[in-house]
Amino acid sequence: MKLWQKTTNSKQEVEQFTVGKDPEFDILLAPYDVLGSMAHAAMLETIGLLTAEENKILQKGLLEIYEEIKQGKLAIEPGVEDVHSQVELLLTQRYGAVGKKLHSGRSRNDQVLVDLKLFYRDAIREIFEEANSLADLLIQLAETHKEDLMPGYTHTQLAMPSSFGLWFASFAEGLSEDLSLLQVAFDLSNKNPLGSAAGYGSSFPLDRTMTTRLLGFADLHHNVINAQNSRGKTERTIAFALAGMAGTLNKLSSDAVLFCNQHFGFISFPDELTTGSSIMPHKKNPDVFELIRAKTNQIQSLPGTLGFLLTNLTTGYHRDMQLLKEEIFPALESMRSCLQMSHFMLKSIQVRKNILDDPFYMHLFSVEVVNELVLKGVPFRDAYKQVGEDIEAKRFVPNQDKVNHSHEGSMGNLCLAEIRTKLEFVCAKFDFKEIDNAVEALLN
């Protein structure tokens, strides 16, 4: 069964190629397809395309299917093209001709698009919650380890003194900035495309404001062509947001892998959070962070992949867009699991104390000594030259206990309260309450 089928069937080869992997991803869209249909049916009653009794029957049938989906009982039957066809088929089988009326005033184009918007809203919410939780943990770790010094690097060479507090706080603030990008993607996902039909509207007097309210959307795509053109644009915006957050986790995981190395030994984790070797009994491998590093690299490639897929598409729907799901759906799940596992690992991180007491790190303090000379009135260039000559002559012996950084965002002034305020400010922009209320009302 296909929503577009008339009397002639497509060749089996054409059908298999065009359907592709869609059934795998359609199951994920199933509950959202039902929610969209419930709102659409309620709206059809208000404009006279369904009677009150017909709407009541459809709402009952759709709620039954929704419960079956939640229980994992829905399957796309052989010969049924997609989840949208499956839902309509079940309604028709169970309740007769009224099931065939549900599609009035909509196209599969806007039906799929509203399903995707609803799916993305929930997927972004899960990522938001994991990112917020991880950022909160990082702020706690920064406070706990603000006095624990560690080397800072530029060009992967020893540079200046740093601290674990500074290191942890950098990722907390980075995630708050990543959430700002994610919030833009959420806003775009939280606009209602239903009623745009195939992309050019409908001759029926559809009440698009009503379906916007019923589905808890913050707004609608007013122009029907723009509504259809938002497919691809929404995914690309999500991809950029995911890539930014993946970049933050990638740097964190790369650092963690390096700092676990015995030559560094800055951090460690309990044995049960590492893996071993089949032949080397001493090994404690940071496999979790290595996989986070790899997965976040995959996610960072997503904007480019989607960009190529969407290049040169004219206004309106194209079947090319079907392939967006194959890229964006796994990326959303991968991002969520990377955030979750980063939190899981960092809860048990063990930080080595007094790292910079080792004379090996004395050159890290060269800038401190230069600055001390400047404070005594020595011109900076002269102070720099003097310390450089002392290092070359091997007579440089700094005071490794003395590090005095007090400006905003430095080791002695981590600005954790300001970072937390920034995090809370962006988190407040994610409004899930209206969505929850709308969905609950629709299901009840």
Q: Which pLDDT tens digit goes with each residue over 208-238?
A: 999 999 999 999 999 999 999 999 999 999 9
C-alpha–C-alpha distance, residues 47 and 383, integer Å:
82
Q: Which pLDDT tens digit goes with each residue over 424-438?
A: 999 999 989 999 999
Which domains, ranges and CATH numbers included, belong to the chain?
12-101 (1.10.275.10), 108-201+221-356+414-434 (1.20.200.10)
Answer yes or no: are the C-beta atoms of 206 and 193 closer than 8 Å. Answer: no
Q: Which pLDDT tens digit goes with each residue over 332-355?
A: 999 999 999 999 999 999 999 999
Task: Return the half-sphere exposure (C-beta side, CA atoms, 13 A cut-off) of residue 112.
Answer: 23
Residue 4 confidence class, pLDDT cut points 50, 70, 90: very low
Residue 77 confidence class, pLDDT cut points 50, 70, 90: confident
Q: Tokens 């400047």 appear where? A: 374
Closest C-alpha to 242, from 159, 365, 126: 126
Answer yes or no: are the C-beta atoms of 327 and 366 closer than 8 Å. Answer: no
**How are beta strands 267-268 and 350-351 bridged, if at all?**
antiparallel
Q: Which amino acid, residue 409?
A: G
**What pLDDT, on the 0 to 100 scale, is given for residue 144?**
98
**What pLDDT, on the 0 to 100 scale, is given for residue 202?**
96
Write down the mean pLDDT value for the chain: 94
**What pLDDT, on the 0 to 100 scale, is given for residue 182?**
98
Q: Which amino acid, residue 198?
A: A
**How are beta strands 157-163 and 350-351 bridged, if at all?**
unpaired
**How are beta strands 157-163 and 219-220 bridged, if at all?**
unpaired
Question: Burial level of 401, CB count in 10 A (0-12/13-18/19+)?
Answer: exposed
**What pLDDT, on the 0 to 100 scale, is given for residue 78?**
84
Model confidence at 268: pLDDT above 90: yes
Q: Which pLDDT tens digit goes with each residue over 21-37?
A: 767 788 999 999 999 99
**What pLDDT, on the 0 to 100 scale, is given for residue 16?**
74
Buried b (16+ CB within 10 A) or exposed e, 163-199: bbbbbbbbbbbbbbebbebbbebbbbbbbbbbbbbeb
Residue 281 confidence class, pLDDT cut points 50, 70, 90: confident
